[in-house]
Amino acid sequence: MMDKLENGKDKAIGKMKEKAGKWMDDEDLEFQGKVQGMKAVIGEKADDMKDDVVGKANDLLDKANVVIEDKKKK
């Protein structure tokens, strides 16, 4: 949960820095904003992949538990 909040914060701050950099004609600030925004996107993708892996692992554990319970009944 904290990762998602952190990514959202980075995305918002990155956009603000990027726009401020354009407005003030500050290429460094604009670049910092772009980098911070990209960091947020990468973090979101990593969170999505982590959630997918955890979901698949839980599915496998559920299937293994069903097989174990079936073996115990026999």
The pLDDT value recorded for residue 19 is 97
Which of the residues in the chain have pLDDT under 70? 1
pTM attached to this predicted model: 0.71
Region of 68 (left: φ > 0; alpha: ψ -120 to 50; beta: rest) is alpha
For residue 31, give the amino acid letter.
F
The pLDDT value recorded for residue 51 is 93
Q: How far apart are CA 48 and CA 50, in angstroms?
A: 5
The pLDDT value recorded for residue 73 is 81
The pLDDT value recorded for residue 1 is 66
